[in-house]
Amino acid sequence: MKIGVYVGSFDPFHKGHENIIYHLLNKKYIDKVIIIPTLSYWNKNIKTSLNDRINIIKTIEDSNIEVNTTLNNYSYTYEILNILKKEYKKDNLFLIIGADSLVHFNKWKKVNNILENNVIVIPRNDIDTNKYIDEFKEKNKFIVVSDFNQDISSTMIRERLNNKDYNNLDKYINKKILDYIINNNLYT
Confidence of residue 42 (pLDDT cuts 50, 70, 90): low
Asked if the structure places residue 159 within a domain, the reply is: no
Phi, psi of 97 (to 5 degrees): -135, 155
pLDDT score at 88: 97
In this prediction, residues 20-34 reach a mean pLDDT of: 97
User: What percent of the chain shows pLDDT beyond 90?
Assistant: 82
- Please check whether residue 120 is in contact with residue 143, taking contact to mean a CB–CB distance below 8 angstroms: yes
pLDDT score at 125: 79
pTM, two decimal places: 0.93
List, for residues 116-136, the tens digit of each pLDDT value: 999 999 998 789 999 999 999
Asked if the structure places residue 181 within a domain, the reply is: no
Confidence of residue 41 (pLDDT cuts 50, 70, 90): low
In this prediction, residues 71-94 reach a mean pLDDT of: 96
Enumerate long-range contacts of 179-185, CB under 8 Å, 24 or more apart: 180/52, 180/55, 180/56, 180/59, 181/12, 181/56, 184/52
Asked if the structure places residue 174 within a domain, the reply is: no
Which domain, by its residues, includes 132?
Answer: 2-150
Asked if the structure places residue 173 within a domain, the reply is: no
The chain-wide mean pLDDT, for the chain, equals: 93
Asked whether residue 35 carries a pLDDT value surpassing 90, the answer given is yes
List, for residues 149-175, the tens digit of each pLDDT value: 777 888 899 999 999 999 999 999 999
Asked whether residue 81 carries a pLDDT value surpassing 70, the answer given is yes
CATH of the domain at 29: 3.40.50.620
Asked if the structure places residue 101 within a domain, the reply is: yes
**Number of structural domains the chain divides into:** 1
Asked whether residue 40 carries a pLDDT value surpassing 80, the answer given is no
Asked if the structure places residue 95 within a domain, the reply is: yes
Asked if the structure places residue 177 within a domain, the reply is: no
Which of 76, 15, 59, 62 has its CA nearest to residue 34? 62
Confidence of residue 43 (pLDDT cuts 50, 70, 90): low
Write the single-letter amino acid at 66.
E
Asked if the structure places residue 184 within a domain, the reply is: no
pLDDT score at 188: 82
